[in-house]
Chains A and B, each alone.
Chain A
Amino acid sequence: MFLIFCTAEDKNKIESSISRLKAEVAALKGELDAIKRQPDSTAELKAQLATLKGELDAIKRQPDSTVELKAELATLKGKLESQPDFTAELQTQLETYKAAITNQLREMFQVQIDALKKENDTLKDEVDALKRQPDSTVELKAQLATLKGELDAIKKENAALKDEVDKLKQQISNPTTPPTSPTPPTPPTPDEKIFYLKPNDAAFISNDIEKIPAQIAKALNVDDMKNFLIANDSETSKKFQKLLNVHFKAVKSFADKLKLKDLDDEELSETVTSKYFKLFQQIIFDNLLLAIQRGVKTSDDFYAEFLAKLNAYLEQCGIYSVNVKAGVKATDDDYKNMSLQNVKTSNKNLAGVINQIERLPYRINYLDEFGEQKFFQYNGMMSLYKAV
């Protein structure tokens, strides 16, 4: 045996290790004793094991049903697969029902929408009808303006009469100066006379095909009017020049395009005259003459001078007018020849009296298909008093 020499530190380490080991041994002994004291379960476990073994053997002895189950499972699968797939059909039915319900709902709402639309339209119509009703306040205002004018006129007349009465009284009280006679009313300006054109006896355009172009060509001779307008530098003159230019172009176009040989002899006069007369209606009758009618009431001589030239032109074109007088009661012929516009008056004596003539009627003669002479007429325009 060898002596091992160690230090005190080492000795301590060894002693601690021995102590630790002794503790562990004691612990283990304790555990062993505890285990020993436990009931011996191995027998129980062995018994359980034997039981389980027995069960396992019993199971092993049972018929093997997995095959059967597998077969049954296969059979069921087969049946399941062979069953028709109703899902698609069900889905289709579902879609159909959905569509039907949607359509029904749509129809139902559509009916309601249509009913509402109809009601809306009815209300709109009512509103429009109400809007179309004359605004009575405006009419009343206009009536008021007229009455005021008439009142002013009566007041003036009264003032004039009063003056005359005063003068006469003075004359009576101081009979040195002779009484003055009352001022006669100023006769109305005979405007319509300057528009009057004497009637023609014959048809301007006959059924003689050879003579027609020359007759129509007379309407192209506007130089006299044109030169007069050019010599007068005014806005009105320029406007008239423009209108005259349009009229000339229309006549030129008509003359160039006219196909006389397409017409039967007996209809030449009527057909050509109706188209020829139409050339004068818009520019000459509806525009120039109305503008002149306004203008002659002013102090500007331009209008009267131009009218003289226009009248000469119309005469050379075969056109004449019908005499209608203002200030007298309208006759049956006046009603046939004139377009009317009423002017209200409270003076019953003026009912049916022609207030003013804006344009005379204009005519041109022609021969109808039976050779009978007739005329085309472009109606005049007048205003007529209507007592209210």
Chain B
Amino acid sequence: MANYLFGIDFGACNLKCVRADKSKMRPVRLNTNDDGSFHTPNAIFYKKNKDGDVEFSIGQYAIDMGSLTPENLVVGLKRKLELKDWRQFIPNLNCDVTAEKVAEDILKKIFDAATKNVPAGDESHAMVTVPVIFTKHQRNLIKAAAQKAGFIVDGVINESFAAIFGVDAEEDSLNVIFDLGGSTLDVSIIKFERDEVQELVAAGLKLGGIDIDRAILEKILKPKFGDALAARWQCLNADDFQMNFVRRLRENLYADEFDESVSATLVDAYFDFEITRAEVDALLESEGYREKIFAMLDELFGELAQGEDCFDKSDVTKIWALGGTMHIPYFRNLLEEYFGEDLFNALDYDFEDNDELIEGLDDKYLVVAGGAANFLKQRENITAINAIPYRICYSLGKNLQLGIAKNMPAGFETLYLHLDLVELDNCGWKISLYQTFGDEANFDDAAYLGEVQLDSALYEKKEKPLLKLKMMRDGRLRLRFNERRMLDDGNADIILVEQHFLNLEE
């Protein structure tokens, strides 16, 4: 029985899947009618056939069918996975669909395309990638959907971490992966050695091509061509169509050989819509992208400096700029400004140059999926250590207390954290753990991680129990509960009462 290994990049704009063969990576074609680019829009359309049975299609075909009955189309599922309890009524199904159900259907189509030539009885393993800012719940949701689709899911990893396995990184190097995609910006700083790959720090922002397209539409096109657009876009699925148009316009604008201005023609309008790179650059500047990105990078390097190697910017070997939105020169210029021309030269960057990608990957869009497949292939031979890019907090019912800060290195342990006896009694000696990505601990931004039930009978309860949290190298969180007690010799000492572990990674 053979094993087939797949890497799946469930992108906000496009779906990508790569198979790891013995010697190289092979991208999987997912579109109904493939234009050769492997670009499969993340969209699903539920349709009824002549017999009344429901079928579903993904990719560009789904978008086209959705123009007829947009209520049966789901686009941008990735952003919907970030929402609590999202659902949409699908008339052709006559019921609501949840994000999990939609993800399962999309992944089922990916599974069918990927395993088309896989013999019956052979296993199809997958490593799925998600943004850095995905919570544990969202990761579990994606994993469950892929499993129900038919994959044996060996892990869910950060997109920027997967990418290091899709590029030809040097031995003993410090790499910055800067992945600006459709929905998120994911940055990981990774120490790459022969048999150990350690993600030292990681961070993410909800900032991507979709947001840029929305800004271009609302702040450039509509003010400039308002009447013409309004008359033009009478179609029922106006917003999806508009966003699709803006995306194409933006891609044309930054095609390598084009000049400053570009024009795009619309069906039926006989009207040229012109936007310039200067207009878009000014918009990006006014939207504050520079400040947001620099602030994130500063915070990451600040956290990095607290690690045992005390790395800083000058230790970086290579910057890997990935993601479809990186074809906008503004962001490449930002990287050059931040890191310096010696480390990243914006003019030298060539989106079409794929020499630095691993064997079989000829397209930078596929680096994350290819990296995931390659990681799956190699994981028994290397030690992979991930950063925990969120803050771990704990609660005894009312308030959220800060536990471990973001990006603490594996092996980090907190000092003793005092637990109030009254609060423990009130919550039944059950401690809940949460993850937050923000700087402060509050329930609004917190995502539930798990809980630990203590045995109150083990405690003398003369003093407050003391909790210590430790990040283990295997990705588990260790919780040790201690108590100060009088010993037989009359001295007081801190005694370990009980110990628990919580899995943070799936």
Contacts and interface: CB of A to CB of B under 8 A. Distances in A.
Decide if A and B are genuine partners. Answer: yes
Interface of A: 114, 118, 131-132, 134-135, 138-139, 141-143, 145-146, 246, 249-250, 264, 267, 271, 273-275, 277-278, 281-282, 286-287, 290-291, 294, 335-344, 355-356, 358, 361, 369-370, 376-379, 381-384, 386, 388
A336 B267 contact: no
A275 B362 contact: yes
Contacts of A275: 36, 362
Closest 5 CB pairs of A and B: A274-B36, A138-B230, A376-B36, A342-B235, A377-B33
Contacts of A343: 234-235, 268
A356 B266 CA distance: 12
Interface stretch (B63-71, B176-184, B391-399, B414-422): B63-71
B36 A335 contact: no
A356 B26 CA distance: 39
B37 interface: yes
B291 interface: no
Given A335-B64, A376-B34, A294 B270 contact: yes
A361 B64 CA distance: 14
Contacts of A379: 33, 35, 60, 64
Contacts of A339: 60, 63-64
Contact of A278 (B36, B248, B267): B36
B231 A145 contact: yes
B265 A356 contact: no
Given A335-B61, A379-B35, A384-B68, 18 more contacts: A139-B234, A267-B26, A271-B362, A275-B362, A278-B36, A282-B255, A291-B265, A336-B32, A338-B64, A341-B241, A343-B268, A355-B268, A358-B267, A361-B33, A377-B34, A379-B60, A384-B67, A386-B235
Contacts of B257: 246, 249-250
A146 B230 CA distance: 12
Contacts of A142: 230-231, 234
A358 B32 contact: no
A376 B35 CA distance: 5
A145 B258 CA distance: 37
11 contacts: A118-B444, A141-B230, A246-B258, A277-B35, A291-B265, A294-B270, A335-B65, A340-B68, A355-B268, A383-B268, A384-B68
Contacts of A377: 33-35
A161 to B, nearest CB: 28
A246 B37 CA distance: 20
A373 B299 CA distance: 52
Contact of B238 (A134, A286, A287, A381): A134
Interface in B228-268: 230-231, 234-239, 241, 248, 252, 255, 257-258, 265, 267-268
Interface string B14-36: 00000000001010000011111
Interface of A is mostly: helix
A383 to B, nearest CB: 5
Chain B interface size range? 35 or more
Residue of B24, B234, B236, B238 contacting most chain A CB atoms (<10 Å): B234
B33 A337 contact: yes
A63 to B, nearest CB: 59
Contacts of B117: 370
B36 A277 contact: yes
B218 interface: yes
B356 interface: no
A271 B63 CA distance: 26
A383 B233 CA distance: 12
B440 interface: yes
Contacts of A249: 257
A340 B35 contact: no
Contact of A340 (B37, B64, B238, B239): B64
A386 B265 CA distance: 22
A386 B64 contact: no
Given A277-B36, A282-B255, A341 B26 contact: no
Contacts of A291: 265
A386 B362 contact: no
Interface string B55-98: 00000110111011000000000000000000000000000000
Interface in B461-486: none
A205 B444 CA distance: 57
Nearest to A242: B259
Given A132-B218, A282-B255, A386-B68, A139 B267 contact: no
Residue of B68, B218, B236 contacting most chain A CB atoms (<10 Å): B68
A12 B458 CA distance: 135
A278 B34 CA distance: 11
A343 B235 CA distance: 6
Nearest to B355: A259
A109 to B, nearest CB: 14
A294 B36 contact: no
A129 to B, nearest CB: 12
A291 B271 CA distance: 11
Contacts of A264: 24
Contacts of A344: 234-236
A294 B117 CA distance: 44
Nearest to A355: B268
A115 B172 CA distance: 46
Nearest to A297: B270
Nearest to B256: A250
A377 B29 CA distance: 13
A114 B230 contact: no
A39 to B, nearest CB: 94
A13 B44 CA distance: 146
Contacts of A246: 257-258
B259 to A, nearest CB: 9
Contact of B35 (A338, A378, A384): A378
Interface string B373-413: 00000000000000000000000000000000000000000
B65 to A, nearest CB: 6
Residue of A342, A370, A383 contacting most chain B CB atoms (<10 Å): A342
Contacts of B226: 138
B68 A273 contact: no
B400 to A, nearest CB: 13
